[in-house]
């Protein structure tokens, strides 16, 4: 009976996240986790860590086993100070019992350093954090981190007519963005001889 009640409470919490949680834009992320049941999640722009905690808890509950999570953020290097420090983020996310890896630094530099060692992800969530000038370099590294069925969600800022929301990026669109980044002066890295 207790097990049934626990599962029922988890279901209610998941329904609340997908339908009633704030900020409203995050609901699309939670619905994607509900449908896709990702095993590995990449989040660019951890911020305060609330969305990160909720994503990890929901994904682990849906899968029934540990979920891999990588968070890329500036952490202490953030101007304005809004967000978690690296240590606070690690403590906050690690207590959920999942496989957590945090990569500090500017997004494009962090991806350049780690893109080949991170592996591939089932879900990529891109927050508002990266600077507008860095997007071409970010798109260059993202194709290394995705599979054919990876869902990529990019947060779009609020405008006068529309509130903030997450937009899906299709695989074909990602490849086009990566090629655009390459043409903007970021040549494909050369392979070294073994």
Q: What does the longest C-alpha to C-alpha distance in the chain come to?
A: 62
**CATH architecture of the domain with residue range 2-183:** 3-Layer(aba) Sandwich (3.40)
> Could you tell me the sign of the dihedral formed by the alpha carbons of 60, 64, 34, 121, in that order?
positive
Average the pLDDT over 2-6 and give the result: 82
Of 114, 128, 129, nearest in space to 73 by CA? 129
pLDDT cut 90: percent of the chain above it: 39
Judged against a pLDDT cut of 50, whether residue 183 lies above it is answered with: no
Q: What does the radius of gyration of the chain's CA atoms come to, in whole angstroms?
A: 17
In this prediction, residue 129 has a pLDDT band, given cuts at 50, 70 and 90, of low
* Residue from 78, 73, 150 nearest 109 by CA: 73
pLDDT for the residue numbered 193: 54
Q: What's the token pair of residue 157?
A: 């800022």
The CA distances from residue 144 to 93, 141, 177, in Å, are 25, 6, 13
CA 186 to CA 54: how far, in whole Å? 36
Only one residue has tokens 């999942």, namely 98
CA 89, 81, 42, 151 torsion-angle sign: positive
Q: Closest by alpha carbon to 41, among 69, 6, 18?
A: 69
Where helices occur in 65-104 by DSSP H, the ranges are 86-94
Listed by start position, the domains of the chain span 2-183
Q: What's the mean pLDDT when you consider all of the chain?
A: 84
User: What are 66-116's pLDDT values in tens digits?
Assistant: 899 999 998 887 766 677 889 999 999 998 888 999 999 988 899 999 999
What proportion of the chain, given as a percentage, has pLDDT over 70? 87
Phi-psi region of 189 (alpha: psi -120 to 50; beta: other; left: phi over 0): beta
Q: What is the pLDDT of residues 107-121, one digit of tens each?
A: 889 999 999 999 999
**What's the rounded mean pLDDT across residues 174-188?**
61
Measured between its terminal Cα atoms, the distance across the chain in Å is 60
| CA–CA gap between residue 46 and residue 110 (Å, rounded) | 13
Has residue 185 got a pLDDT over 50?
no
Residue 156: exposure state from Cβ atoms within 10 A (0-12, 13-18, ≥19): middle
- Could you give the CA distance from residue 41 to residue 152 in angstroms, rounded to a whole number? 10
């Amino acid at each position: 009976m207790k097990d049934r009640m626990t599962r029922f409470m988890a279901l209610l919490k998941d329904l609340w996240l997908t339908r009633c949680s704030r900020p409203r834009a995050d609901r699309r992320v939670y619905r994607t986790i509900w449908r896709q049941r990702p095993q590995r999640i990449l989040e660019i722009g951890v911020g305060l860590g609330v969305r990160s905690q909720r994503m990890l808890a929901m994904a682990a509950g849906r899968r029934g086993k540990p979920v891999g999570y990588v968070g890329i953020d500036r952490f202490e290097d953030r101007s304005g100070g809004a967000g978690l420090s690296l240590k606070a983020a690690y403590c906050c996310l690690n207590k959920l019992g999942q496989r957590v890896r945090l990569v500090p630094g500017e997004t494009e530099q962090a991806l350049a350093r780690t893109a080949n060692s991170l592996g591939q992800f089932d879900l990529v969530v891109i927050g508002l954090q990266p600077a507008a000038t860095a997007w071409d370099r970010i798109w260059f590294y993202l194709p290394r981190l995705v599979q054919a069925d990876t869902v990529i969600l990019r947060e779009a800022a609020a405008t006068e007519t529309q509130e903030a929301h997450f937009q899906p990026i299709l695989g074909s669109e990602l490849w086009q963005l990566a090629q655009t980044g390459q043409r903007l002066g970021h040549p494909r890295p050369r392979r070294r001889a073994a």
